[in-house]
Amino acid sequence: MSAAVSLTAETVKVVDPRRLRSAKPRTRVESIDMLRGAVMIVMALDHVRVFLHDAAYLHSPTDLGRTSAVLFFTRWVTHFCAPAFVFLAGLSACLYGARAGRKELSFFLATRGAWLVFIELFVLSLFRTFNPTYAYFNLQVIWTIGLSMIALSALIYLDRRLLLLVSAVLIAGHNLLDGVHLPGEGVTSFLWAVLHETHVFTLGRVTVRVMYPLLPWLGTMAAGYCFGRLYLADYDAARRRKILLWTGLSATVLFVVLRFANVYGDAAPWSIRDTATFTLLSFLNVTKYPPSLLYLLMTLGPALTFLALTERSSSAVTAPVTVFGRVAMFYYLAHILLIHVAATVLAPLCGHAMMDMVLSSAPSDAPSLKGYGFGLPTVYLLWLALVLVLYPCCRWYDRYKRRHQSTRWWLSYL
């Protein structure tokens, strides 16, 4: 994704206000690309599982009454992806603004956000369903990044300390709204779902599932924007790493303390189970839809720690990972399309028609797909194959983008 959707404009900028519009990047911050690339790779595992794992058509991988430890952690490790995407989108927006100025950043965020909403509705919906009638819309991470960017385009005019406070309130306080429900199919119910509550709406022949409500994700993006100041050219690198490390470790410790207390921060309390392993799974089984305070502490804490520890660890081994991070939007679109193509092509091996993969719902909700899928080892093999196939494509696009970024404005939107 470019400059603002988990943007790839993470460059250290000259910050003299008189020279911001003509300033050129001095060097990339590889740890940002590395984190984004790592979560992009991991994210694909969950999407392969959704389409190609046999158990995905039967039950949730976090259903502790039916899952296994391996399946649970296959899902759990992918929890780190969306928070990192959204946080880095805000961080990258700050760096883009340091180069271009606040007015230009605001325009870019608003237009980029609207473009991402369009992509979620009309490109990704088609890739996920292969149904040109658009009978099913699943409003996921690209949707919420787009909406958050549109909101952030106005919020960047706030004093940075006030914006940091707003982000903290949204992240830490939104669980106070967990008891507020607006049932039904009306406009107010839909608007409330967009803000805070996951919900499925049936509008004639069209089903709309709101999976990523705005408030906590906007708080996450705003926090990333505030943290972006640590990466400006006049900021001491050693101090930056120290702040990132201690903030990340503190968030992780706070997650453990609050989760153990079982008082606030997640709608699903943990409990003692029959075995120590499943007690641990219960402890880690926090709420993603919408992302609870504990979910965000559990995921963003390690992400910040990762940024601190990998800032000076660029090498030939990590270089392929950063390639994925630099072209995240290209990767995201391509991997959704390829996974669905693979699921369609492989359908006859499971006794299903390829047309069964033309969907009017989520794959797991399609009655015709019951009994479809492969075992978990095959899912892992298909995931690795997908990443290997995508790497040369992403490397080509990365080179193309870097050669033409300054002359082809539309590359900033892809």
Domain of 104?
17-413
Q: Are strands 199-203 and 206-210 parallel, antiparallel or unpaired?
A: antiparallel
Question: Of 395, 330, 321, 333, which Cα lies nearest the Cα of 1?
Answer: 330
Question: Does residue 12 sit within a domain?
Answer: no
> Would residue 307 count as lying in a domain?
yes
Residue 3 located in a structural domain: no
pLDDT in tens, the chain (414 residues): 434 344 443 433 333 433 434 344 345 678 999 999 999 999 999 999 999 999 999 999 999 999 999 999 999 999 999 999 999 999 999 999 998 999 999 999 999 999 999 999 999 999 999 999 999 999 999 999 999 999 999 999 999 999 999 999 999 999 999 999 998 889 999 999 999 999 999 988 999 999 999 999 999 999 999 999 999 988 999 999 999 999 999 999 999 999 999 999 999 999 999 999 999 999 999 999 999 999 999 999 999 999 999 987 767 778 899 999 999 999 999 999 999 999 999 999 999 999 999 999 999 999 999 899 999 999 999 999 999 999 999 999 999 988 877 777 777 777
Residue 268 forms part of a structural domain: yes
Question: pTM score, two decimals?
Answer: 0.91
Backbone angles phi, psi at 136, to 5 degrees: -140, 125
Enter the DSSP assignment of 146. H
Q: Is 138 left (phi over 0), alpha (psi -120 to 50) or beta?
A: beta
Contact 72, 208 (CB under 8 A): no
The number of distinct structural domains making up the chain is: 1
Residue 2 lies in a domain: no
User: Could you tell me if residue 5 is inside a domain?
Assistant: no
Integer Cα distance of 92 and 247 in angstroms: 19
User: Reduced to 3 DSSP states, what percent helix, strand and coil does the chain have, rounded to the nearest 5?
Assistant: 70, 5, 30
